[in-house]
């Protein structure tokens, strides 16, 4: 991903000034240019993850652009799974997607930071110097991310239990697709198909191809035999089955 910035800057640097085609007279700064390059690369990589066969083009991915939060989730999940990941790499992914690691942790409750254990920590643990509560507080400390040795983990769908998850987003922003998926997983597990259908129809998800592709990608990234995979497969099958029925009704209805 980051190897793409070199050739891009080479093209940018050939010209003394780079102006914006859609805003005559305005100059594109280096930081703006790099932000665009990173997003193009992210769209390309995410497109390959969504396609599953590595044949998706950058143009196709950009045409069905995922929101920043869902793009980050897919990149992180694809490369690191649900295991601990180096904070530095995750920060770079976040920047490429147009969000910050602090937003991912605090605003969106999508990731958590854990501090790497030092030799002193190991010794304290062996001697019983700190209790479980203190260790838990340390793991939940949002300032731990500033430590170069910290690790990052994605939060599971079950850990994301906010009452507004999938219904509202901070500061009036659009609700990310990954939040909608996790919301549906909670509704499905609760066994209320009426609420599941209301949510799907109310948000126009049945006919949203990007949503269906995201579901399939998450299924493939989930461990076989896990509750997560089972829920995602059930939701995907339900969307496809109900969608097929609705399509037939649209063809047959009015007039019979």
Positive or negative, the CA dihedral 49, 166, 39, 155 is: negative
Q: Which of 86, 84, 88, 48 is nearest to 66 (CA)?
A: 48
- Candidates 55, 54, 47; CA nearest to 74 is 47
Does residue 218 belong to any structural domain of this protein? yes
Residue 194 placed within a domain: yes
The pLDDT of residue 124: 53
In a domain, 165, yes or no: yes
Contact 185, 231 (CB under 8 A): yes
Q: Compute, in degrees rounded to 10, the torsion defined by CA atoms 253, 254, 255, 256.
A: 10
Q: Measure the CA–CA gap between 157 and 199, rounded to whole angstroms.
A: 17
Does any domain span residue 70?
Answer: no
Residue ranges making up the domain that contains 174? 156-256
Whether 206 maps to a domain, the answer reads yes
> Strands of 151-154's sheet, edge to edge?
85-86, 151-154, 111-114
- Distance from chain centroid for Cα 218: 10
Residues 164, 137, 139: CA angle, nearest 5 degrees: 80
Predicted TM-score (pTM) of the model is 0.75
How many domains, the chain? 1
Q: Is residue 74 part of a domain?
A: no
Give the Cα separation of 130 and 121 in Å (integer): 9
Q: What is the pLDDT along the chain (256 residues), one digit of tens a residue?
A: 677 778 888 889 999 999 998 888 899 998 888 888 888 888 888 888 887 655 544 445 444 678 999 999 999 999 999 999 999 989 988 988 889 999 999 999 999 998 755 445 555 545 554 444 444 344 444 443 444 458 999 999 999 998 999 999 988 899 999 999 999 999 999 999 999 999 999 999 998 999 999 999 999 999 999 999 999 999 999 998 875 445 444 444 555 4
Is 89 a domain residue?
no
Q: Is residue 46 part of a domain?
A: no
């Amino acid at each position: 991903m980051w190897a793409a910035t070199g050739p891009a800057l080479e093209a940018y640097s050939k010209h003394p000034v780079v102006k914006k085609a859609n805003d005559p007279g305005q100059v594109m700064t280096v930081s703006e240019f790099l932000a665009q390059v990173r997003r193009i690369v992210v769209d390309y990589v995410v497109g390959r993850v969504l396609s599953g066969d590595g044949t998706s083009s950058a143009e196709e991915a950009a045409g069905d652009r995922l929101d920043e939060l869902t793009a980050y989730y897919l990149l992180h999940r694809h490369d690191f799974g649900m295991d601990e990941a180096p904070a530095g790499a995750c920060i770079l992914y976040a920047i490429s997607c147009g969000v910050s690691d602090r937003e991912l942790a605090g605003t969106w409750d999508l990731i958590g930071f854990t501090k790497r254990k030092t030799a002193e920590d190991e010794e304290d643990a062996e001697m019983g110097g700190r209790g479980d509560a203190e260790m838990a507080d340390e793991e939940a400390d949002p300032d731990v991310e500033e430590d170069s040795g910290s690790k990052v983990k994605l939060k599971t769908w079950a850990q994301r239990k906010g009452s507004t998850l999938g219904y509202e987003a901070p500061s009036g922003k659009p609700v990310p697709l990954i939040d909608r998926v996790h919301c549906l997983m909670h509704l499905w597990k609760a066994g209320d198909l009426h609420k599941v259908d209301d949510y799907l129809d109310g948000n126009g998800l049945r006919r949203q191809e990007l949503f269906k592709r995201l579901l399939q990608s998450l299924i493939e990234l989930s461990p076989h035999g896990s509750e997560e995979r089972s829920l995602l497969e059930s939701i995907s099958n339900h969307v496809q089955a109900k969608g097929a029925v609705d399509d037939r009704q649209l063809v047959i209805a009015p007039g019979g």
